Structure 1
Amino acid sequence: MNYAIAAPAQPSLPIIGSDLRFPIRRVFCIGRNYAEHAREMGATVDKSAPMFFCKPADAVVSDGADVPYPQATSDLHHEVEMVVALGGGGRDLSPEQAAALVWGYGVGLDLTRRDLQAQAKAKGHPWDVAKAFDHSAPVSALRPAAAVHVGADTQLWLDVNGERRQQTTLGDMVHGVPQIIAALSTLFELQAGDLIFTGTPAGVAALQRGDRFHAELVGIAELDGVVV
C-alpha cells in the first residue's frame, strides 16, 4: 500500500528470551484498582464499575530508553503497574475466556501529570492531558505467560534512586486480570497486541529530572530507566 506521507513506526516491545518483538495495538489502563491508592487520592472504589482510560501506543517507552520530563507540568508522578499483553481478542468475554487471551506479562509506569489531573478532576473534565502524553508509558520487556506463574502472592514494587516507593502483592488488586479483560471487552473489541496496565498500589509520588527508577514484577520482569 502506498501512503501520502511516511507511515508511522509500529510501536513494539522486546520479548524476554526471543529475538521477536511484540507489536502494540492499543494501551488500556484501569484506575483505582488498589483500595489504598484510591484512598490516598481521595477517591473510593466502585467494585461494580471499573474505571478505564487509554494511552496512545506511541506513548510506550521501550528498551530502557530515557524518559523525557514532559512539558506543561511541574508535578510528574510515577505509578508502577503490572502490564498484561493480549495474544487474542473478542467482545463480551467471560472471565474464563478473558484469561485465555493473556500472552505475556511485564512491568510499567503509568506516568501522570498530577497537577493537570487535579485541574481536570476539579472541572469534571477528562484526564487525557494528564495521562496520555508523549513518553507516558515506560514498559519492560515481556515475559510469555506460558513461561511463568503469576499469582496473588506475586510482588510488584518500585524503587526511585534506591529508595522503595511502592510495593504490593497482586492479591491486593480489586479486580483481577480476567475480570479486567472481561470488563474491557464489554466496552471495546479487544485484539491481539493490546496492552493493559492493571492499576497501581499506594505510594505514588513525584519524579524529578535525573531520577533513576527500578521496577519489578518479581520473578517475571524488570524495568530500569532515568528521567531526563
Structure 2
Amino acid sequence: MIDAPENQTNIDASHFGWYRRGVRASFSVPGLILTSAFIGFAGLAREAGLSLVEAVFMTGMVWALPAKVVLIGAIMSGTSLAAAAFAVALSSVRLMPMVVALAPELRGPGTRPWVLYLLSHFVAVTSWVIAMEKIGAVPREMRTSYYLGLGSTLVVANMLVVAVVYAVAPSLPPAASAGLLLLTPIYFLTSLWGSARERASHIAMVIGLLLGPALHMAIPGFDLLVTGLIGGFAAYGWHRLRFTGKQSRS
C-alpha cells in the first residue's frame, strides 16, 4: 500500500477543516430565522396538499423560500405547469446578481467551473449574506470548501425541519405558522440593508417599500416585477448621476 504524500494529506485535512467551519457558520441567528420560516413553509405545503416527499424534495431542489411559496401559490390556484415554471424562474432571477457577486469571491487557483455551478445552487439570501460577511477571512483556495459546508448544511437541515414539522403541522396554530413564515422577509430586508455597499441599494429598497403596496393594489401579479424595475432603474440612475458629479468636480 502506497502512503499519500504528507503535503497532500495536509491539504485534504485543511479542506475538511474549512468545510467544518462552514458547517458551524450555518448555526447562527440568520440560520435560525431561516429555519423558523421553513416551519411555516412546512405547514403551508401541507395545507396546499403536497405530500411529505414532495415538500422535502421541493426544499432541496428549489431551495430559495420565495420561489417555493410562488410555486405553492401556483399549485393552489390551478396554474398551468408552464406558467408555474415561468413564475418560479422569474422570482429566482433576483438571485443572479448574488451569484455574480459571490462566484469571483469563491474562485481560487484551479477552481473548476462545475464546482462553481454546483455551489451556485446553494445561493440564497441567508447563505449569501453569511458568506459575503465572512469569506474575506477564508484562504482563497479553501473558500469553495467553506461555502459547501455552509450551503449544504442549511439545505439539509431545513429539509429535515420540513419533514419533522410536516408530520406535526396539524397541531400548530395557523397564526403561528404564518408568523414564522413572515420572519424571513423581515430578516431579508434588514440583512440586505446592513450588507449594502452602495447608497443606491438603500434607495432601491426604500422605493420598493413605498411602491410595493400601491402597485399590488393596481396591478396584482406584476407588482413585484414592476416595483423591482422602477426601483432598480431609479437607483442605478441616481448612482450614475452621483458618479458623474464626482468626476466633474475632480
Report the TM range for the smaller structure's normalisation.
under 0.3
TM-score, structure 1 normalization: 0.23
Kindly name which structure, 1 or 2, has the bigger radius of gyration based on alpha carbons. Answer: 2
TM-score, length of structure 2 as denominator length: 0.22
Instruction: Report the structure, 1 or 2, having the larger strand content.
Output: 1
Greater helix percent: which structure? 2
